[in-house]
Each structure stands twice: as C-alpha cells, then as structure tokens.
Structure 1
Amino acid sequence: MEHKTPATESIGLQIPSEIQDSVLQKSTSMPENSVPIKGINFEKKKEITLSDILESYRTTGLQATNLNKAIEIINKMLVDGVKIYLGYTSNMVTSGLREIFCYLAKNNLISCIVTSAGGIEEDFIKCLADTYLGDFKLDGKTLRKKGLNRAGNLLIPNDNYCKFEDWINPILDDMVAEQKEKGTIFSPSSIINRLGKEINNEDSVYYWCYKNNIPVFCPALTDGSIGDMIYFHGFKNPGFIVDIAQDIKKINDSTVFAQKAEVMRNGADYAVYVSTAQEFDGCDSGASPDEAISWGKIKLDGEAVKVFSDASLVFPLIVSETFVKFLAEKN
C-alpha cells in the first residue's frame, strides 16, 4: 500500500510504505506539562536586565537551561538554610573569581571550603603581589627565561613566590616553636586558619574564613608552593609535623551532624557542578551527578545539576542571582 502526504499530493508523488514507516513515523502526543523551547525576545521590553536573560535560560535549552537550574537549586539551599560546601580548584583563585569567593566568605554565605594547595597559596600571594593578564598564545620558553609562569592567559612572576617565602618563613618558625614547646600538632585546616589570621588583609578569602570561623579543608596542602616552603624551611628548622588525619575527622563530623549532608548521611540534598570536564575517562571531576548518586554522595531524591562551562564565565552569573540577592533581601 502506498501513502500520500499533503506535501507529496501537491506534486503527485507516492511514498512506499516502508519509507513512510521509517522516515515519517507519526509522533506521540507530548505530555501536558511539556515546556516549549523559547528564548528571550529583545523586542518585547525596552530594558532587558541580567535577571531577565538568566530567567529566559530556563526555556532556552542546552547549557542555558542547566545554568538556570543551578540558580534554582542554590536558591533552595539558601531558603532551606542548609550547610553549603564550596569547592574550587587553584586556577579559580588565580583568576578574578577569587574576589567572589572572598565576598562569600566575608558575608558568611558559605559553611565550608574545600580546595587544592594552589587554591590556598594563590590567595595569600595575591595579597603580596599582583597576578597579571597575559595571553593563551604566549611562548613558554620565552616566559621561562623571563621568570614568568603562565596559567592559561594569567601570568604570575617568580618574584611573587619569593615574596610568599619571605612572608611565610617567620610564621613557620613560630609554628615549629609552638610544636616543640606546647606539643601542638597542626592539621592543614589549622595551618590555613593560622595563615588567614597572619595575613590580616581584607582582600584575602582565608582572612575572612578565619574571622568568620569558616573551616577550609585542603588534604593535599603540600602539593604546591606551600609544600616547597615547608621543604626548604625544614633544612634550617626541621621537625614540622602536619597531621591530615585531624581534618578527616573535622570534615566528616561537620557532615554527620549537619541537617543536610553527604555520604555519611546517605548523600547531599543538593549539588551544583560547574565544570568543563567530561566523564568518558572515569575521572571524578568529569563525573555527572548521577554517578555521584551511585556512590551515595547525592541522595536518590536529591536535586542536582552539572553546568558544562568555564566557571569564570558562569559563576559570577550564578552568584548574582543567588547569594547577592539573598543577602540584599536579608539586610
């Protein structure tokens, strides 16, 4: 049997049934609650705000919709008053996102920070000297000869680390003396707390963490410049001990006794990822929220989303529609 469609009837064509069945498969009806895709109409309003654009992302599709969902989830976190754990990598602190992290810590909008060694030291280094805007195409050999380190299109002079060493060495002296005289054993989080106190600079993320008693966890604290400083310092003043086991207890206790937690209480209620990493190689940074559910890191009925994007692009947008508005309404 041959079939005709309005389009083919007008030109006298007949379509064989096998083609009709495979190519022109009839659609099922969409559910009543289906959301049509629709972007922002710049002709509809004379003045379009950032909030208007971000709200339109809900029905824009692709990563725009995921970004809108991230904003929605974080706003639920704030309304519910849950503990909010902020995690980021060192390049985020090297970039201008550091100022946003500082804002969140200063205003007590987060409960805890988890980061890498570079995410700690770059904050203190920026209190001592500037990081500069460069270019992704700058030649590595030329930069090396000039004593300049490149992180993407960011440039950090070697002199910055010399200034960091001059600043941290007297503090390490005091901490070693305290260990020998009082038996104090420092954990990574207590070292960061001490450095936040010593930097005494309101531009520092960890100064505000110290002031507001926000714990900062960095299991691999020695995997960076701080590790180099501890190593070199040990030649003239040996014996410094860092106990990472203390922090395992601290961070697990903070979740076990929290109303909303993670794996120690069968998963987090909410999770927002912002990452460019993919999951094809099985790395944790590229994992999807669904993978985290399989490990019990997110609850079976938890709300989670992953935004595939460079955080330097979208994190300021997320914060402007969540924490900033929350604080303004609170005050």
Structure 2
Amino acid sequence: MSKGAISQFLEKYYLHFNSAALVDAAKGYEKQLQDGSKMMITLAGAMSTAELGKIFAEVIRKDKVQIISCTGANLEEDVMNLVAHSHYERLPHYRDLTAQDEWDLLERGLNRVTDTAIPEEEAFRRIQQHIVKIWKDAEAAGERYFPHEFMYKLLLSGALEEYYEIDIKDSWMYAAAEKNLPMVVPGWEDSTMGNIFASYVLKGELKASTMKSGIEYMTFLADWYTENSENGIGFFQIGGGIAGDFPICVVPMLYQDMERTDTPFWSYFCQISDSTTSYGSYSGAVPNEKITWGKLDKDTPKFVIESDATIVAPLIFAYLLDM
C-alpha cells in the first residue's frame, strides 16, 4: 500500500535532528514487522488521558503491536475517557492556576492531569461499581486474574455500554480486549483502581491474592518472550518509568538469572523521551547503556526521539498505518 499524505509529509520535511529520528524510528519499526518480528509498545505518562486511543486502537486492530506494557493509570484512564468524556474539563491555562484554583477543582470532584480534569464521580465511580462485582465474583469462584484481564472482562461484559460517550473504535483498551492482546501492567497498585482494590482488602471484602501480582506478570512475560522471540521482538517505549523499565528486564533475567544463554536480545529499541541523561535516570539513559545490562545487542537498531510523546507517537503510528 502506498503511503498517505501524513507519511509523505514526514518523509519530505522531517529530515534532521529529532524529526529525522522520528522518521528513522518509524521506518525501523515497519521493517521489524516486515521481517516477521513482533513488537511491544510501552505506555507511561498520561497517554490515555491524552486520547492516544484515537489512533492507538487502530494500531492494535491492524496488528502493528503484539504485546503492551502500560501503567495502571493508562489501563484505567482509557476506560474512564470512554464512559465519562463529556464530563472532562480542559484547562488550557493550567500553568496559571493558583493553589486556590486547584482546591476548587478538588471540591468539584475534578482531578487534574496537566490541562485535563478527570471527573471523579462519572469516571472512577462508574467503573468501580461494576469492576468490584467482577472482582468479588472471581474470588467467590476461586479464580484469580491479572488487572488487565479484569478490565477486559468488564469491557466485554457490556456493563458499561450505557455510559459510552465516545466512539468505541477510539478506545484502545476495547480494541485490546477484543483481541485478548497480551499485556503487562507493572505497579498496577499505583493507580486509582489499585487503590480501590486495596481498600476492599483492608475492609476484609476481598483477598489480595485474587489479583495476580507483578511477579506473576514477569513470569508470564518470560514465557511469552521465550515463545515469541524466534524472529525477534522489538521494544517501542513511549515515555519512561516502570512501564518500560519492568518489561525490558525480562531479557537479562532469562539470560543471566535463568541461564538461558540462547535468549535473544530485543531486536529493536526506540524511546520517545524528554528525560535528561545527566540526571542518572533510567528513562534518560541512552540506548547503549542498556547493552551493559544485557538488554540490547551492540547491533540492535536504536532510536531516541527527545520530544513530546503526544506529538511524536501519533505521527509514527500514522506512518505505520500508511496514513
């Protein structure tokens, strides 16, 4: 298929510096898929609240990604946007908000993420009443699931349909649920739904063991990586943090700790980041540093795009979709 207008624009005008890195990374991603490799995409930051689902859902539907790692916030905030979008408030002058302005938002039940305020009652509580029933039903049946599996069950049950406020095709979580796409959600406890689940454990209404753990996510990922790495698996990291740091470690864990010396390195690496290398952050580390940790090979194609993921990711996805 020939490339569309967006892709042609990128190839014509994005020729140097971060713009060139964007095009190189997109072409490298495309080559990975053409060569039969699989791809992991990791989501950190508030990408779901930034409505990345409008294009990411199509990336999922078109099989441009085979496994996702995301934070608990991204897992739930796509669903929150699905059921409460009309109640969100955009705050374009968020830099000018005073402490009193922020307090007023709190009293109105609005939780701010940069320029977007998420409505607690319509977003969190609409999901809570249904997800808690699914948690309790699973526990009563002696079943245990991962956080994303519970969300898949919720979406596919139809329980939220009456609340839909955006086109379902713009929800990346719904697209993932339809495909039962493999996923890891490290540090899920650091999310609103994680906090809510913990509150039910504290009240004695749920057992912590009903929710599968982060260690179980890692062992699942180890098996998945081993079974799917024959032609390579690429790593496309949006932002930094645990969504990227957790899954990339599966390779040195298998190679060093499990002593499976035939474990292949990640076959492609790209990170969209604005983190600064000199501060000692994992997110700011240049890809070559990952060679010393046994994550990337010296010949792994490596790309870093130092820019805003809300600008860069949709452009790369558009390129992959021939838009």
TM-score, scaled to structure 2: 0.77
Higher RCO (CA < 8 A, seq sep 6+): 2
Q: Percent identity, aligned pairs only? A: 24
Q: Equivalent residue for 1:243? A: 212
**Which of 278, 286, 289 is the matching residue for 2:287?**
289
Q: What are the equivalent positions in structure 2 for 1:260-275 lying under 5 Å apart?
A: 260-261=232-233, 263=251, 264=254, 265-275=263-273
Q: Equivalent residue for 1:191? A: 150
**Closer/same/farther in 2, CA of residues 69 and 177 from structure 1, 3 Å limit:** same
C-alpha displacement of 1:91: 0.2
Q: Equivalent residue for 2:105? A: 143
Q: Equivalent residue for 1:121? A: 76
CA contact (8 A) 2:131 2:151 kept: no
Which is higher, the Rg of structure 1 or of structure 2? 1
**Which of 84, 97, 114 is the matching residue for 2:39?**
84
SS of structure 2 residue aligned to 1:268: coil
**Cα displacement string for residues 210-230 of structure 1 (whole angstroms, at most 9, x for unaligned residues):** 321311110211211111221
* Structure 1 spans left out of the alignment, 5+ residues: 1-47
**Cα displacement string for residues 43-84 of structure 1 (whole angstroms, at most 9, x for unaligned residues):** xxxxx94334311346x3221111121111111112112111
Q: Give the Cα separation in 1 of the matches to 2:150 and 2:188.
A: 9
C-alpha displacement of 1:192: 4.0
Q: Equivalent residue for 2:183? A: 216
C-alpha displacement of 1:143: 1.7
Q: Give the Cα separation in 2 of the matches to 1:100 and 1:239.
A: 37
**Closer/same/farther in 2, CA of residues 321 and 251 from structure 1, 3 Å limit:** same
Q: Equivalent residue for 1:315? A: 313
Q: Give the Cα separation in 2 of the matches to 1:87 and 1:128.
A: 24
C-alpha displacement of 1:232: 2.8
Q: Equivalent residue for 1:305? A: 303
* Structure 2 spans left out of the alignment, 5+ residues: 162-167, 234-247, 255-262
CA contact (8 A) 1:193 1:216 kept: no
C-alpha displacement of 1:240: 4.2
C-alpha displacement of 1:206: 2.6
SS of structure 2 residue aligned to 1:280: helix
Q: Equivalent residue for 1:227? A: 194
**Closer/same/farther in 2, CA of residues 185 and 49 from structure 1, 3 Å limit:** closer
**Which of 124, 132, 144 is the matching residue for 1:169?**
132
Q: Give the Cα separation in 1 of the matches to 2:188 and 2:158.
A: 17
CA contact (8 A) 2:40 2:66 kept: yes
Q: Give the Cα separation in 2 of the matches to 1:246 and 1:141.
A: 39
C-alpha displacement of 1:117: 0.7
Q: Equivalent residue for 2:224? A: 254
TM-score, scaled to structure 1: 0.75
SS of structure 1 residue aligned to 2:149: helix
**Which of 132, 136, 146 is the matching residue for 2:89?**
132
Aligned residue pair count: 273
